[in-house]
């Protein structure tokens, strides 16, 4: 139940919800609470930088952060914008690697965006329902029918399960994995 101060302050309620989500996520992954907070801070910081940039249109770009690895997907209008995006992401203190999957092209159509959102929901549900997957160890982004995976797999079998779920969903044309394994030295 919310106390009186939280009911008057939507920001406090949002922060409480975010902290609850991070705590629950830590229960289904092998990440620490602090790692989740760091990723959220990097995500928010990069989002703010992209919103503040008036020289490029980053409105069709999605940012996904996991253990300091930043995955950017979507579309921009120019190669200069694509390069600027990598530069902005790599300048963040909490970022160890930038994975730029953004393509230069037209904006994502409403129809394609709707299809991608449906794939997102179906993949999320499949991963959570699969007891052979540490669901909290994965994040993903869908752009133009391509599923981009980010996270940490316990081993090849788990990664194969995640990839299989993605490939089985109608509307998925390609799966690109940026998943690393538990013992990978790129982990913080």
pLDDT digits (tens, 9 = 90+) for 20-52: 554 444 444 555 656 666 667 766 777 777 677
How many Å separate Cα 70 from the centre of its chain? 8
Which one has a higher pLDDT value, 116 or 68?
Answer: 116
pTM, to two decimals: 0.77
Residue 38, pLDDT score: 66
What CATH number should be reported for the domain whose range is 31-104? 3.30.1340
* Alpha helices by DSSP H, 57-155: 79-90, 110-129
Residue 162 has pLDDT above 90, yes or no: yes
Classify residue 11 as exposed, middle or buried by CB count within 10 Å of its CB (0-12, 13-18, 19+). exposed
Q: Give the residue range(s) of CATH 3.30.1340 domains in the chain.
A: 31-104, 110-181
pLDDT at 45: 72
The architecture of the domain spanning 110-181 is: 2-Layer Sandwich (3.30)
């Amino acid at each position: 139940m919310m106390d009186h101060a939280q009911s008057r302050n939507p920001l406090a309620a949002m922060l409480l919800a975010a902290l609850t989500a991070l705590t629950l996520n830590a229960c289904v992954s092998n990440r620490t609470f602090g790692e989740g907070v760091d990723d959220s801070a990097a995500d928010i910081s990069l989002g703010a930088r992209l919103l503040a940039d008036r020289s490029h249109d980053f409105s069709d770009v999605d940012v996904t952060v996991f253990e300091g690895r930043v995955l950017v997907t979507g579309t921009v209008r120019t190669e200069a914008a694509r390069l600027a995006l990598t530069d902005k992401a790599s300048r963040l203190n909490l970022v160890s690697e930038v994975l730029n999957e953004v393509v230069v092209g037209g904006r994502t159509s409403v129809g394609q965006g709707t299809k991608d959102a449906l794939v997102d929901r179906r993949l999320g549900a499949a991963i959570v329902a699969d007891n052979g997957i540490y669901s909290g160890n994965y994040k993903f982004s869908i752009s133009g029918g391509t599923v981009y995976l980010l996270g940490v797999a316990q081993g090849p079998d788990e990664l194969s399960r995640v990839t299989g779920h993605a490939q089985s969903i109608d509307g998925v044309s390609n799966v690109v994995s940026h998943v690393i394994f538990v013992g990978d030295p790129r982990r913080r």
